[in-house]
Amino acid sequence: MKPNELTLADFQKHISDRYETVDRARGWPKTFAYFVEEVGELATALTSEDEGARANLEEEFADVIAWLCTLANITDVNLASAVTKKYLGDRPPAGHK
């Protein structure tokens, strides 16, 4: 699959197919801790002035999405449906967005 053809649903399914048994056994509390750790690494990459920061920044964005998909999978949330419902409707969502 080409990167520009990848959908959120495809990626969430890929994460499920590859990791879900182990992820469910770990549970959401520990998985959430890993997710937060990756968000922290993303924050560090965003503020880095290192010359190699761009490649690391891309890796950290990918890690955050992968762990978000993991959390969604083990809590039985379809991310594509959730995003569609909240952000692609006729009215903008309430709140900060």
- Tens of pLDDT, residue by residue over 75-93, are 999 999 999 999 888 887 7
On the 0-12 / 13-18 / 19+ scale of CB atoms within 10 A, 38 is buried
Residue 61: band (very low, low, confident or very high) from pLDDT cuts 50, 70, 90:
very high
User: Tokens 């978000």, residue?
Assistant: 68
User: Tokens 């990459």, residue?
Assistant: 45
11/29 Cα distance (integer angstroms):
22
CB 88 within 8 Å of CB 94: no
pTM of the shown model: 0.87
